[in-house]
Structure 1
């Protein structure tokens, strides 16, 4: 979550924080982003994404909304 996407990507790519998840996974590649008007919505969406499976995240990256929905329904059963 950031209010300046370019700076945030540069921070991750440069290894700005050795404790960050991305530190050993550089170079980073931005796969998806979404804009929110309220910071609370952004925080909630980020928390939600962290709980998603890799397959569901990949469907999101590909903007395959049918697959995102299908994978969401699988988890509910």
Structure 2
């Protein structure tokens, strides 16, 4: 039986002034879509969010959706702390994901 994977992720713009929280079943593909401006009317295109800062992996879609909603409801300061715990230097992680 195939194991499912779901990801909750956070993107930012180049200056790290905006955060976007999303969920997907294919992080590499979804990140490529953000970079290539797959949906030109989207929040991520408008605010130039295409730099990956954070991700978590889940086996069950319901857990991933619940976590995405939870993080989206947080204040910016709490999201910043989450990113800092995962990625202390706030390094862009696109290449780490896209090269795998």
Q: Structure 2: any 5+ residue segments left out of the alignment?
A: 1-22, 87-100
User: What count of residue pairs does the alignment treat as equivalent?
Assistant: 64
Q: How big is the alpha-carbon RMSD for the aligned residues of Structure 1 and Structure 2?
A: 1.5
Q: What are structure 1's unaligned runs of at least 5 residues?
A: 65-77
Shift of 1:56: 0.6
Indicate yes or no: 2:71 matched with 1:49.
yes
User: Which structure has greater helix proportion?
Assistant: 1
In structure 2, C-alpha distance between the alignment counterparts of 1:58 and 1:4, rounded to whole Å: 24
Aligned twin of 1:59: 81
**C-alpha distance in 2, partners of 1:23/1:12?**
7
Task: Tell me which protein shows more strand as a share of its residues.
Answer: 2
Q: What TM-score do you get using the length of structure 2 for normalisation?
A: 0.59
- Which protein is bigger by CA-based radius of gyration? 1
Tell me by how many angstroms 1:19 deviates: 2.8
Higher relative contact order structure (alpha carbons within 8 Å, sequence separation ≥ 6): 2
- Runs of 4+ deviating beyond 6 Å: none
The TM-score normalised by the length of structure 1 is 0.74
Can you list the C-alpha shifts for 1:21-70, whole angstroms capped at 9, x where unaligned? 10122251111110001000000000011111111101000118xxxxxx
